[in-house]
Chain A
Amino acid sequence: GDSVTQMEGPVTLSEEAFLTINCTYTATGYPSLFWYVQYPGEGLQLLLKATKADDKGSNKGFEATYRKETTSFHLEKGSVQVSDSAVYFCALLNFGNEKLTFGTGTRLTIIP
């Protein structure tokens, strides 16, 4: 079945550092890929998405590129801020399946 593997956390970075959170997936066909973010005490919010190979999703300075050859969708940001501290979830949605498959989440803490 479909699965998502995320980089183990927690991740701690200094403000203005470069961020990468790795995400790889296993799925048949051509799933859509998502990154969700969960700030403390809140629900998950869609951060960005990509629906086909080589698509780049971007939002709030974050980017991720759908790489079918490596089955990856790594999240990147060039310069993180304290306000980016949150838990980040990678997820996929496959054709014919209404259920999002989530990774385990990566907790990110940014220190000033």
Chain B
Amino acid sequence: DAGVIQSPRHEVTEMGQEVTLRCKPISGHDYLFWYRQTMMRGLELLIYFNNNVPIDDSGMPEDRFSAKMPNASFSTLKIQPSEPRDSAVYFCASSEAGQRFNGYTFGSGTRLTVV
């Protein structure tokens, strides 16, 4: 398996623009998680899905953020409009319900810079 695949690896955008981050989980994994990492706040869980259904979005910072999972092999995290304080590394991770105690598999992340 190729692991969790995220795209793009780097994104630079201007304030006010829409940004879409993409994630392909490991085939067969039924949980998908979106995290944000910054120096100030560390790792923050934004939202997670089970079988494509959002379960907990309490970590989504505000209405400018939205996430979807239209099918088992694809998820997006969208920021509209983007702001400089959204600059961070965004990670996607997936796990399998029956193997949850094996932990998560993380993607390599998308480094977002909003100027």
Contact = CB atoms under 8 A, between A and B. Distances in A.
Interface string B82-115: 0000000001010100001111111111000000
Given A99-B48, A99-B56, A89 B43 contact: yes
A51 B33 CA distance: 21
Nearest to B44: A102
Contacts, number: 49
Interface residues of A, number: 20
Interface residues of B, number: 23
Interface stretch (A14-22, A41-49, A73-81): A41-49
B103 A46 contact: yes
**Dominant secondary structure of chain B at its interface with chain A:** strand
A34 B105 CA distance: 13
B73 interface: no
Contacts of A34: 103
A97 to B, nearest CB: 10
A49 B43 CA distance: 19
What 6 A-B pairs have minimum CB-CB distances, sorted nearest first?
A: A43-B106, A44-B106, A46-B103, A32-B101, A43-B108, A104-B42
Interface of A: 32, 34, 36, 41-46, 49, 51, 89, 91, 93, 98-100, 102, 104-105
Given A41-B108, A91-B103, A98-B95, 9 more contacts: A43-B106, A43-B109, A44-B104, A45-B106, A46-B102, A46-B104, A98-B55, A98-B100, A99-B33
